[in-house]
Amino acid sequence: MSAAASSPPLSRRAVLGTLLGFGFGFGLAADPARAAASAMRIASLGGAVTEILWRLGAGSRIAIVDTTSVYPAEVLREKPNAGYLRALSAEGLLSAGPDLVIAAEGAGPAAVLTQIREAGIPVVLVHEPPTVEGVLEKIRAVGHAAGLDAPAETLHRTVEAAFAALAGRRARIARPARALVVLSLANGRVMAGGRESTADGILALAGLRNAAEGLTGFKPITDEAIVAAAPETVVVMSNEGHALSPDTVFAPGTALSQTPAAAKRSLVAMDGLALLGFGPRTPETAEALMRAVYPDLTGE
């Protein structure tokens, strides 16, 4: 790997400071904005962050990603991978020779981020609330960090317009259907997305009512609660094209087979990151979900 050879100079002050043991402080780069504008090798940590950078045309500047960065797969396959977002390794990240780290909020461990900052590399953390404003704000934040304010503004407008169109269509839904987001179906046990989860956020955008309103976060839900929740549609995650089939989900004898969704065989499979990642694809995903559940709305 020739990453080391092509890595840009560190600020000598930063290195000296660290060597002398004063390096417990924070980003030592004198002007983060200037450092960011010239950042050519970005460590992009977090699925939505990576997706935004790619949409902004900075895919080639991504030097290293994390395991949650899975879209677009063909671009990311050959990038080095720093592992799980919350279990990063300082030396692993440094080995890619990044001059800027853009990470989803929650990246860590915190000590590793501190070590990266000690190395004179600015670390920009991006907030991730699962809302429309959250997505729009995230586009601006990532764009600003990468010195791509103008393209970010364009993408911001596109996504904002898509959200507005989505809201217009949503307003025409007379009665929101009840939907259950099933994260996994291991051994017949259903893990569902409750309130305050990203699943809840995407359902709201698609004009659906979360049937698992009694849960908070992603939790196993009991069979009785599934029957009581009476979802009219079930949303599952597909992974690289593989998804649960209606036959599996609504298998006879299971709690899910006792729901209105089973009667209509209403099952929607969507890509996990697109569904729960709250990135630039969120309006399209919400729209696809909406169209799948309310086919009559598509007639305009």
Partner 1 sequence: MSEARRRGVAVFAGLALLLAAILLLSLGSGAVRIPPGRVLDILLQGGASGAGDPTFARDALVVLNIRLPRTLLGLMVGAGLAVSGALMQGLFRNPLADPALVGVSAGAGLAAATVIVLGDRLLAAVNLPGSLPYTALPVAAFSGGLATTYGLYRVATRAGRISVATMLLAGLAAAALAGALTGLLVYASDDRQLRDLTFWSLGSLSGATWTKVMTSAPAILPVLVTVPFLGRGLNALVLGEAEAFHLGVPVERLKRVAILLVAVAVGAGVAAAGVIGFVGLVVPHGLRLLIGPEHRRLLPACALLGGALLVLADVVARLVVAPAELPIGIVTAIVGAPVFLWLLLGRSALADV
Structure tokens of 10? 């560190």
Is residue 96 within 8 Å of residue 41, measured between CB atoms? yes
Is residue 119 within 8 Å of residue 109, measured between CB atoms? no
Residue with tokens 């399209």, as numbered in its chain: 284
Binding mask 67-86 for partner 1 (x = CB under 8 A): x------------xxxxx-x
Tell whether residue 96 is a contact of partner 1 (CB under 8 A).
yes
Q: How far is the CB of 288 from partner 1 (least distance, A)?
A: 23
- Residue from 92, 151, 176, 260 touching partner 1 (CB under 8 A): that is 92
Q: How far is the CB of 180 from partner 1 (least distance, A)?
A: 17
Rg of the chain taking only CA atoms, in angstroms: 22
- The one segment of 7-15, 52-60, 147-155, 169-177 that binds partner 1 by CB under 8 A: 7-15
Q: How far is the CB of 156 from partner 1 (least distance, A)?
A: 27
- The one segment of 5-13, 129-137, 229-237, 252-260 that binds partner 1 by CB under 8 A: 5-13
- Residue from 28, 49, 102, 119 touching partner 1 (CB under 8 A): that is 119
- Residue from 219, 238, 246, 258 touching partner 1 (CB under 8 A): that is 219
* Cα 295 from chain centre: 27
Tell whether residue 176 is a contact of partner 1 (CB under 8 A).
no
- Residue from 44, 50, 69, 115 touching partner 1 (CB under 8 A): that is 115
Tell whether residue 110 is a contact of partner 1 (CB under 8 A).
yes
Tell whether residue 23 is a contact of partner 1 (CB under 8 A).
yes
Cα 269 to Cα 72: distance, rounded to the nearest angstrom? 18
Nearer to partner 1, 24 or 252 (CB): 24
Tell whether residue 201 is a contact of partner 1 (CB under 8 A).
no
Tell whether residue 106 is a contact of partner 1 (CB under 8 A).
yes
Closest CA to 55 of 255, 282, 234: 282
Q: How far is the CB of 112 from partner 1 (least distance, A)?
A: 5
Count other C-beta atoms under 10 Å from residue 40's C-beta: 15
Count other C-beta atoms under 10 Å from residue 273's C-beta: 22
Contact residues toward partner 1 (CB under 8 A) are 1, 4-5, 7-10, 12, 15, 18-19, 21, 23-24, 64, 67, 80-84, 86-96, 106, 109-112, 114-115, 118-119, 197, 217-219
